[in-house]
């Protein structure tokens, strides 16, 4: 154990280390047998790869880490997701891809008899998953409809939402692939499936059964795909990727290449706090230094954070994600009422 690690453990007086405090003596890709990777905002944004993602994942594979590509986006079937990844320089097979559409189809199949008509509010990813479960996808409500399944697709409009509302109001089971309110795109943050689910929720007064992250069905399916015994959940969203990892009792890496920013992470409740933090997927390739907690505050990577008179102060320099990491540990340990000094410092450092 290093002197720095020992001081941190001593400061905790024997208690378990909290989120973002833990260090490693090896790169994450050598510690965990598989990475369960979110896609949007982690591996790609829209049609383009996140910078450094293809070469990082190639290095992780070379080190023996298995990769599962896990997405709450239900719009595309696994083969199209895998083809997109290959176009971006990330070798992937369809059996390494797990989508929320597949998880939703599994849930629906447990609710209705084989061959039942299921009304689709979504795209081809849902249709293919429903057919794969021996069910019959339809697009208009009639008395034969046995369930509704809803997932994100950019073509969803008023007509699909209306048909879905008619069926949900009739009382049949309603399964949503996920309830992410937003989705990252090449042009910025756009409405996600959760925003579209809210339309039917408001129209009918009903709540859907949710199949994707942070629920555990998608996690279990993706872990099984790559025979993961000690998986690391990698994502950019606190309320899906990180909460799902915590529910599953798995470690997690939050990357800052997607929707989560510094203010959101500082405000995260315990269930949304990750094990590790990095600017992007290169966090898989490096050793994560343990934080040092002492009378001066929380230190790591050239940064020191402390809470003084309710204000979160951050000094030093280095990788901005390390600055955010020590700021979070300090703030979560001694919450105050003004995080803006640290946020300004991070903004000035490019974080």
Catalogue the active-site residues: 38, 40
216-225 and 100-109 helices, crossing angle to 10°: 110
Q: Please tell me the distance from the alpha carbon of residue 86 to that of residue 65, in angstroms, as a whole number.
A: 18
How many C-alpha atoms does 316 have within 13 Å on its Cβ side? 23
14: region left, alpha or beta (phi > 0 left; psi from -120 to 50 alpha): left
* Residue 163 near residue 140 (C-beta atoms within 8 A): yes
* Residue 95 near residue 79 (C-beta atoms within 8 A): no
Residue tagged 């696994």 (tokens): 78
Listed residue (27, 178, 216) closest to 101, CA to CA: 178
Partners of 254 in the β-ladder:
235, 277
Query: How would DSSP label each residue in 184-236?
Result: EETTEEEE-HHHHHHHHHHHH---PEE-STTSHHHHHHHHHHTT-SSEEEEES
Pairing mode, if any, of strands 145-150 and 117-121?
Answer: parallel
Q: Please tell me the distance from the alpha carbon of residue 52 to that of residue 17, in angstroms, as a whole number.
A: 30
Residue tagged 């590790």 (tokens): 276
- Secondary structure letter of residue 295 according to DSSP: T
The CA distances from residue 100 to 64, 70, 208, 303, in Å, are 26, 8, 14, 39
């Amino acid at each position: 154990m290093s002197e720095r690690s020992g001081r941190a453990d001593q400061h905790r007086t024997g208690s378990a280390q909290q989120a973002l405090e833990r260090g490693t003596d090896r790169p994450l890709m050598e510690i965990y047998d598989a990475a369960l990777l979110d896609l949007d905002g982690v591996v790609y944004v829209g049609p383009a790869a996140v910078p450094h993602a293809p070469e990082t994942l190639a290095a992780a594979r070379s080190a023996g880490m298995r990769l599962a590509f896990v997405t709450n986006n239900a719009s595309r079937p696994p083969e199209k997701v895998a083809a997109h990844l290959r176009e971006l320089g990330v070798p992937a097979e369809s059996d390494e891809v797990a989508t929320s559409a597949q998880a939703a189809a599994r849930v629906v199949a447990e609710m209705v008899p084989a061959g039942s008509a299921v009304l689709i509010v979504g795209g081809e990813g849902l249709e293919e998953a429903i057919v794969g479960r021996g069910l019959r996808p339809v697009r208009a409500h009639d008395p034969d409809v046995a369930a509704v399944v809803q997932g994100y697709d950019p073509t969803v409009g008023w007509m699909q939402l209306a048909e879905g509302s008619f069926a949900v109001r009739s009382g049949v089971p309603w399964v949503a692939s996920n309830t992410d309110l937003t989705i990252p795109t090449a042009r910025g943050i756009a409405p996600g499936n959760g925003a579209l689910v809210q339309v039917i929720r408001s129209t009918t007064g009903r709540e859907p059964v949710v199949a994707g992250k942070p629920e555990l069905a998608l996690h279990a399916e993706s872990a099984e795909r790559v025979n993961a015994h000690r998986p690391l959940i990698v994502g950019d969203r606190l309320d899906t990727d990180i909460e799902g990892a915590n529910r599953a009792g798995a470690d997690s890496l939050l990357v800052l290449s997607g929707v989560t920013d510094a203010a959101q992470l500082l405000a995260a409740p315990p269930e949304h706090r990750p094990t590790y933090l990095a600017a992007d997927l290169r966090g898989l390739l490096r050793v994560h230094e343990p934080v040092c907690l002492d009378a001066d505050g929380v230190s790591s990577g050239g940064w020191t954070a402390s809470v003084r008179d309710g204000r979160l102060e951050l000094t030093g320099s280095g990788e901005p994600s390390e600055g955010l990491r020590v700021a979070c540990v300090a703030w979560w340990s001694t919450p105050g009422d003004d995080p803006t000094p640290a946020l300004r410092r991070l903004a000035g450092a490019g974080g």
